[in-house]
Amino acid sequence: MTRLESTTGAPAATPGTATGRSGRARDRRAWSGAWFVVPFGIFFVLFLVWPIVYGFWLSLTDASLVASEAPGFVGFSNYANALSDAEMWRSLWHTIAFTAISTVPLVLLALVMAIAVYTGIRGQWLWRFAFFAPYLLPVATVAMVWTWLLEENLGLVNQTLASLGIAGPGWLSEETPAMASVVIATVWWTVGFNFLLYLSSLQSIPTHLYEAAAIDGAGPMRRIWSIMIPQLRGITSVVLVLQLLSSLKVFDQIYLMTKGGPDGATRSLLLYVYDTGFTGYRLGYSAAISYIFLAMIVIVSIAQARIASRKGQQS
Amino acid sequence: MTHPIRRRDLLLAGLGGALAAPALAGCAGFTGTASRGEGIRFWNLFSGGDGVLLDGIVQDIEEEIGPVRSTVLEWGQPYYTKLAMASKGGRGPDLAILHLSRLPGYAPGGLLEPFDLDLLAELGIRPEDFDPGLWSRGAVGEDQLAIPMDTHPFITFYDRELADAAGLLTSEGVLREFSSAEDFLDGLDELGETSGMTPLTFGHINHDSQAWRIFWSLFAQTGAEFELSESGAEIDIDGVEQVMELLGAMFDDGRAEPNLQTNAAKSEFTNGRAAMTFSGEWELATFRDVVPNLGASPFPTILGEPAGASDSHAFVLPTQLAADPVLRRQAHEFVAAFLQGSLDWAQAGHIPAYRPVTETEAYAELDPQRDYVSAGEIAALDPQAWFTGSGSEFQRQAGFSIQNAILGQDPAQAAQDLVAYVEEKAAEPDPTRGTTS
């Protein structure tokens, strides 16, 4: 230890002419690592920083996908138009509603499933596989399967309900059930990922905690409430953040299952961005809506981070 | 001390190579030197049975004009978005398919280049070989931007025996004329009684175009006004309401299930649970093999003038930064060869736009294609505006109000909603002219 310290520390401590040279050498050493970051840096700038800057510039113009003229600068008028666009607010509301409705079961159900599997259902491997398998399916397959299942007249769901004497709703043709249908399909499809996060977290809780509790006379429910759930607090906040972010950017299953219908009742904000930009050709306007959405997500993320850090300090 | 330098050199060299490789490859594609011998690039949106048929036709054409690199993209909005972006960047394919109804959204933006009509005439293709109305939809000013390839109308498919038993067929075996909406509804009821099944099946829920197609078929028959221009929309709302009322009645009283998705309706028809369906003629390949005594007729005339929603696939030349004259000529040769051989294309159910083919005896023998060839003459294409046309957002959004009428809601309300939406859309700035804010 001492020998190492003396060799590395000696030049810096030596006064006189040597200081400058060794200082440069040390600078060079400090910067040599930077080269390893360059490839990532280039990709970061090319595919993240530049698109963000370019997209913001687009949002200040009347850029169009098909016009032959160069886009003209229009200032913040796209933003003003977007903020007074009822369809923008309506689709934003759909995104928020979807996020709120889907996040609760996606977190709670995953937790219950993980605890159930971990605490002793027989054939753990089968349940692990069965719960996680849907997550491996491509979204196109999921949408197709659920579209058929929920078909109003011939679908398995309504046929089953009919055999029980219940008249099922028009799952994809009526406004309220349509949003519920998208949520159901999404939960079925993605809950496996959260389940797996919970399960791995459960497996990392030291067994001696349970043993100690058992010695103190705690029953199974007591062990779940007083050991498992508190120990899962960290992973729960991770799952919650990941889930909120992925629910907010909902697009593909809606595009495939309902195309935003019926009557726009399931159109999410990103679907509206796609509709105005790519099918309506108004790139500038759709960029402005994207930036309004980005601002909202940043605000939510900052608020979430503040709350999380405050909780962290308290505990 | 030398290590960092060596390492840096290595990194730089590697990085330089990594960046240079794609750039060089890009250059090769850009200047086009690498693509010369590989033939024309042809984009289309034909999948399924159409796609298989097209592949066969392209193979035949390749023997005449050399290699063709065919690219199939997803039908509808994804196709048109990609085609617009490629053309805007000046790197569009040498030849592409476009629905004629989409031309008004493409032409003003300069995304397409005109055909050389002299060259086409030299290859045996002249304007008089086409229906004048169809041909003129491909022209913008002096330029012929699109050459029609076919018309693909929305038609009626039915079981011939069942329709005949209900007295719905003429002696030639096609759907008889109807004197009024009541006459048509009575006909459906009769078909239901004699066949013992649901008379009509039709799927439209959450589909891009189906609801619009049935509406537009009926509306075009009324002869009422539906004009879109830069100054706004002029729509006869009474005509719209009349159609909405008829739709409500058509899907009522057990005549048809109002809430089917397209695939569900298709399966009702192919499984023998319904006697008749409205669909595009492109479903012919699907139905022919499974429906006994399959008959096909133009969309029935119920509200006056014969008409049926339709569109036309057309060839277009997407804009390129520097078009290669050799490939440009090959693209023209491809179009000519395709049109002259389009009897093969008729197998898919489409009506060839090139009349010398539909006038042949061989075409007259195609059953049931020959029974609906007149649908090409009563083709009602979408009202012309930058936002209309096959696979457009407009058809989907307009479809929501029509869907409500089919589901039995107030026809007056549905008509108001539809007109309000169209007026709102017509008031939007036209992005093809660079004023989108």
Per the CB < 8 Å rule, is B267 touching A154? yes
List the beta bridge partners of residue B295.
B158
Cα–Cα distances in angstroms (integers) from residue B406 to residues A138, B7, B212, B422, in the given order:
33, 71, 11, 19
Per the CB < 8 Å rule, is A173 touching B403? yes
Find the range with the poorest average confidence among A24-28, A64-68, B173-177, B413-417.
A24-28
Query: What crossing angle do the helices spanning B237-250 and B393-406 adopt, rounded to 10°?
Result: 60
Assess whether the previous peptide bond of A220 is cis (omega < 30° from 0): no
Residue ranges of B 187-246 with Cβ closer than 8 A to chain A:
205-206, 208
Q: Hey, what are B110's tokens? A: 């300069």
Per the CB < 8 Å rule, is B431 touching A69? no
B432 touches chain A (CB under 8 A): yes
Per-residue pLDDT of B250-273, as tens digits, reads 999 899 999 898 988 999 999 999
B261 touches chain A (CB under 8 A): yes
Per the CB < 8 Å rule, is A64 touching B431? yes
Q: How far is B320 from B335, CA to CA, in rounded Å?
A: 18
Pairing type for strands B40-44 and B95-99 reads: parallel
Cα–Cα distances in angstroms (integers) from residue B105 to residues A154, A263, B430, in the given order:
38, 24, 9
B278 or A14, which is more confident: B278
B37 touches chain A (CB under 8 A): no
Per the CB < 8 Å rule, is A68 touching B205? no
Q: How far is B137 from B146, CA to CA, in rounded Å?
A: 8
Contacts of A42 in chain B (CB under 8 A): 15, 19
Q: Hey, what are B214's tokens? A: 């049935």
Per-residue pLDDT, A23: 63
Contact B163, B276 (CB under 8 A): yes
Q: Kindly report the nearest CA distance between residue B402 and chain A, in angstroms.
A: 10
Q: What are phi and psi of A61, to 5 degrees?
A: -125, 175
Look at the block and give the residue holding tokens 């009575």: B186
Q: What are phi and psi of B149, to 5 degrees?
A: -105, -40
Per the CB < 8 Å rule, is A173 touching B259? yes
Contacts of B264 in chain A (CB under 8 A): 151-154
Contact A251, A268 (CB under 8 A): yes
**Complex ipTM above 0.85?**
no
Question: Residue-wise over A106-125: b if at least 16 C-beta within 10 A, else e?
Answer: bbebbbebbbebbeeeeeee
Per the CB < 8 Å rule, is B392 touching A281? no
B82 touches chain A (CB under 8 A): no
Q: Hey, what are B112's tokens? A: 């397409």
Q: Hey, what are A10's tokens? A: 């000696």
Per-residue pLDDT of B28-74, as tens digits, reads 333 344 444 678 999 999 987 788 889 999 999 999 898 999 999 98
Q: How far is A155 from A171, CA to CA, in rounded Å?
A: 10
B158 or A202, which is more confident: B158
Q: How far is B437 from B427, CA to CA, in rounded Å?
A: 12
Q: Kindly report the nearest CA distance between residue B209 and chain A, in angstroms.
A: 12
Residue A136 gets which letter from DSSP? G
Question: Which residue of B15, B268, B434 is in closest CB contact with A39?
Answer: B15
Question: Which residue of A68, A259, A279 is in closest CB contact with B206?
Answer: A259
B307 touches chain A (CB under 8 A): no
Contact B251, B411 (CB under 8 A): no
Contact A272, A289 (CB under 8 A): yes
What Rg value do the Cα atoms of chain B yield, rounded? 25
B54 touches chain A (CB under 8 A): no
- For B66, left (φ over 0), alpha (ψ -120 to 50), or beta? left
Tell me which chain A residue has its CA closest to the CA of residue B12.
A35
Q: What are phi and psi of A264, to 5 degrees?
A: 75, 10
Per-residue pLDDT of B8-22, as tens digits, reads 444 444 444 444 444
Q: Tens digit of pLDDT per residue, chain A (315 long)?
A: 344 444 444 444 444 454 555 666 666 677 778 888 999 999 999 999 999 999 999 999 988 888 877 888 888 999 999 999 999 999 999 999 999 999 999 999 999 999 888 887 777 788 889 999 999 999 999 999 999 999 887 789 999 999 999 888 889 888 889 999 999 999 999 999 999 999 999 888 888 888 888 888 888 888 888 888 888 888 888 888 888 888 998 999 999 998 887 888 899 999 999 989 888 888 999 999 999 999 988 888 888 788 777 765 655
Note the maximum CA span of chain B: 99
Q: In the structure, how many helices (H) and strands (E) does chain A have? A: 17, 0
pLDDT surpassing 80 at residue B202: yes
Per the CB < 8 Å rule, is B84 touching A65? yes
Residue ranges of B 408-427 with Cβ closer than 8 A to chain A:
none
Contacts of A62 in chain B (CB under 8 A): 429, 434-437
Q: What are phi and psi of A136, to 5 degrees?
A: -80, -10
Q: How far is B239 from A52, CA to CA, in rounded Å?
A: 48
B257 touches chain A (CB under 8 A): yes
Per the CB < 8 Å rule, is B393 touching A279? yes
